[in-house]
Amino acid sequence: MTFIEILLIAVGLALDAFAVSLGSSSNGKVSDRRAAFRLYFHFGLFQALMPVIGWSIGISVSRIIVQLDHWIAFFLLLFVGLKMIIEAFKEVDSKQDFNPSKGWTLIMLSLATSIDALVVGFSIALLNTEIVYPAILIGVVTAVLSLIGIKIGRAFGNKFGNKMEILGGVIIVVIGARILFSHVL
């Protein structure tokens, strides 16, 4: 695989993480450098590890994962997106528990946005290509695009408040639905 091919794959895989970063940071909880780092680091890390896992597992299991990956991603993103929408309607004092850059929410978002990368790892294994370089490039591109999404989400979140949090939740649900429908149809 050429650098351009790997870069295009990396950008394609990173777009979900970019959109989720944008939506997640719009709620004001990803307001400091540590929270932003946790979000873009984990998105990049998971996006780099999943192709390695997919590549390692190989073709024999790929049929099972390919049949389920879209459902897993859909339900994880649906859960997180609906939670964001519900949180937007809560009073400010009761919203302190929800932070997309911490705990299980961070792990679910990281997994949901990187499941496609698992399938890419299977594809790379079919091409008899080494995985280390593509995995690193995919992780770095995802982290950079996620950071850009965080910065954009913060800017618009500060201006539009709860409306951006609702929009972020809707975007996450739509991404999940797009993943599901693109595989089902």
CA distance 76 to 109: 7
Per the structure block, which two tokens stand in for 108?
């679910």
Tens-digit pLDDT profile for residues 64-119 = 666 776 777 677 778 777 876 777 677 654 445 567 778 888 898 899 888 888 87
Tens-digit pLDDT profile for residues 6-50 = 888 888 888 888 888 887 787 677 778 998 999 999 999 999 999
Where do the structural domains in the chain lie, given as residue ranges? 3-184
CA distance 148 to 88: 23
- Going by C-alpha positions, the residue among 61, 181, 55 that lies closest to residue 128 is 55
Give the confidence band of 146 by pLDDT, cuts at 50, 70, 90.
very high
CA distance 149 to 139: 15
- Give start and end residues of each alpha helix (H) in the chain: 3-25, 33-57, 59-88, 103-126, 132-160, 162-184
User: Which phi and psi angles does 65 have, rounded to 5°?
Assistant: -65, -45
